[in-house]
Amino acid sequence: MNNIILFITIGALWIIGLTLFGKTKMHFFMFLLGSVGVFLISMIFFTPFLERQISLLISETLELIGNATTYFAVFKENSIISFDTRTGIISMFIDYECSGVIEMLVFTSLLLFFPFGKPFRKLFYAIGGNIFIFLANIIRILMIVFVSKTFGAEYFYIAHTLLGRLLFFGLMIVLYYLVFTVTHLKNQHVGELK
């Protein structure tokens, strides 16, 4: 009962804060409070469902690629990718880190309160951006498999921890640049982007 009261109180304060920042035209604080609030609400209530569904979708997508190339096997019921390398067999579990759920929630939360465009434009960017994040995860996983198969099982850690994250981070920079930076520069009319 105390948790429900606490949640209602925090939710009411969040809505009041958003309203006050909106009426006083404090756009940065509205963006900050709104984005953080939506992200935390999404993490608490939607992450378990989204993580499972996106992991299954990633597994199904990888299964199509694996069946077409016979490069790896996917056990989609358990969200596991298995492949042999020169020096052993590797099984990789697609968990919250590989699913991209957190990245999708961060992107969507920021997008909802970023001050640009009409709701349709934000919806378009939200769908396109989340598809981009999904595909970036697929590319990252395929790169991990390729490096591990090519150089051996001992390179899995480097491929997963270092190279995979760098690749994914680079792709996220591209996404954020295109969605937030370019859009903001165009709306500010500071010059022509080519």
CB 72 within 8 A of CB 91: no
**pLDDT above 80: residue 179:** yes
Mean pLDDT, residues 137-147:
94
**pLDDT above 80: residue 117:** no
Q: What pLDDT is recorded for position 136?
A: 95
Question: Residue 91's closest CA among 79, 108, 107?
Answer: 79
**pLDDT above 70: residue 190:** no
CB 168 within 8 A of CB 137: yes
Q: Between helices 27-45 and 101-113, what is the axis angle to 10°? A: 150
User: How far is residue 48's CA from residue 102's CA, in Å, rounded to a whole number?
Assistant: 11
User: How far is residue 85's CA from residue 153's CA, in Å, rounded to a whole number?
Assistant: 6
User: How many residues make up the chain in this entry?
Assistant: 194
Considering the entire predicted model, what is its pTM?
0.88
User: How far is residue 97's CA from residue 138's CA, in Å, rounded to a whole number?
Assistant: 12
Per-residue pLDDT tens over the stretch 3-30: 788 888 888 899 999 999 989 989 889 9
User: How far is residue 55's CA from residue 125's CA, in Å, rounded to a whole number?
Assistant: 22
**pLDDT above 90: residue 44:** no
Mean pLDDT, residues 158-176:
94
Helix (H, G, I), strand (E, B) or coil at 58: helix
**pLDDT above 90: residue 99:** no
